[in-house]
Amino acid sequence: MRLKLAFLMSAVLAAGCGWSGADATTESGGGTIEYWLWDSGQQPGYQKCADSFAKQNPGLNVHISQYGWDVYWSKLTAGFIADTAPDVFTDHLAKFAQFVDLGVLRPLDELAPTADINDGDYQEGLAELWKGQDGKRYGSPKDWDTIAMFYNPGALRAAGFSPDDLSDLSWNPRDGGTFEKMIAHLTVDKNGVRGDEPGFDKNNVSQYGLGSDGAGGGGWGQTQWSAFAGSAGWQVTDRNPWGTRFNLDQPAFQDTLTWYFGLARKGYMPSFAEIGGNNPVGPDKQIQSGLAAIALDGSWKISTFQNLTDTSGQKLKVGIAPTPIGPSGKRASMFNGLADSVTSLSKQPDNAAKWVKFMSGEECQNIIGESGIVFPARPSGTEKAIAFNKDKRQLDVTPFTDQVKDKTTFLFPVTTNAADITALLQPRMDAVYIGESPVSSLTTVNDQLNDLFKVAQ
The mean of the pLDDT values for the chain is 92
Q: State the pLDDT at residue 278.
A: 73
When pLDDT is averaged across residues 157-185 and rounded to a whole number, the result is: 97
pLDDT in tens, 362-402: 999 999 999 999 999 999 999 999 999 999 999 999 999 99
CA distance 154 to 207: 12
| Region for residue 56 given its phi and psi (left: phi exceeds 0; alpha: psi -120 to 50; beta: otherwise) | alpha
The SS3 of residue 282 is: coil
CA gap 56, 116 in Å, rounded: 20
pTM for the model: 0.91
Contact 377, 126 (CB under 8 A): yes
Class of domain 2-144+340-394: alpha beta
Q: What percentage of the chain exceeds 90 in pLDDT?
A: 85
At 456, the pLDDT band (50, 70, 90 cuts) reads low
Question: What is d(CA 344, CA 175) in angstroms, rounded to the nearest whole number?
Answer: 52
Residue 29 has pLDDT above 70, yes or no: no
Please provide residue 145's backbone torsions phi and psi, each rounded to the nearest 5 degrees: -150, 155
In angstroms, the CA 347 to CA 341 distance is 14
Q: Is the pLDDT of residue 24 over 50?
A: no
Which of the two residues, 414 and 13, has the higher pLDDT score?
Answer: 414
Fold classification of 147-334+415-456 is D-Maltodextrin-Binding Protein; domain 2 (3.40.190)
pLDDT score, position 325: 98
Mean pLDDT of 125-145: 94
User: How does residue 196 score in pLDDT terms, banded at 50, 70 and 90?
Assistant: very high
pLDDT cut 70: percent of the chain above it: 93
Q: Looking only at Cα atoms, what is the longest distance across the chain?
A: 78
Number of residues assigned to the chain: 457
Rounded CA separation 117/111 (Å): 11
State CA 349 to chain mean position distance: 28
- Crossing angle of helices 362-371 and 43-56, in 10° steps, is 150
- CA separation for the pair 167, 424 (Å, rounded): 37
What distance in Å separates the CA atoms of residue 444 and residue 457, rounded to the nearest whole number? Answer: 20
Query: Which 8-state DSSP code applies to residue 136?
Result: -
CA 156 from chain centre, in angstroms, equals: 27
Classified as helix, coil or strand, 339 is: strand
At 310 the pLDDT is: 86
Residue 12 has pLDDT above 90, yes or no: no
Cα–Cα distance measured from residue 246 to residue 258, given in angstroms and rounded to the nearest whole number: 18
The pLDDT value given to residue 277: 81
Q: Which residues contact 393 (CB under 8 A, 6 or more apart)?
A: 306, 372
DSSP string for 359-423: HTSHHHHHHHHHHTSSEESSHHHHHHHHHHHHHHS----HHHHHHHHTT-EEEPP--S-HHHHHH
Check for a shared fold between 2-144+340-394 and 147-334+415-456: yes
> In the predicted model, what is the mean pLDDT of residues 244-273?
97
Q: What is the CA radius of gyration of the chain?
A: 22
Residues 6+ apart with CB under 8 A from 264: 212, 270, 271, 272, 433
Residue 137 DSSP class:
B
pLDDT of residue 320: 98
Q: What is the pLDDT of residue 370?
A: 96
pLDDT exceeds cutoff 70 at 7: no
| Rounded average pLDDT over 230-256 | 96
Give the helix ranges, DSSP H, for 24-162: 43-56, 69-82, 93-102, 153-158
456 against 18, higher pLDDT: 456
Give the C-alpha separation, 358 to 424, whole Å: 39
Lowest mean pLDDT among 1-10, 15-24, 206-215, 370-379: 15-24
pLDDT confidence band for 30 (50 / 70 / 90): low
In the chain, where the domains are located: 2-144+340-394, 147-334+415-456
pLDDT at position 41 over 80: yes
**23 or 96, higher pLDDT:** 96
Contacts of residue 98, defined as CB under 8 A and 6 or more positions apart, other chains included, come to: 8, 416, 417, 418, 419
Question: Does the pLDDT at position 10 exceed 80?
Answer: no
Asked if 264 and 255 touch (Cβ cutoff 8 Å), the reply is no
Pairing label, strands 31-37, 147-151: unpaired
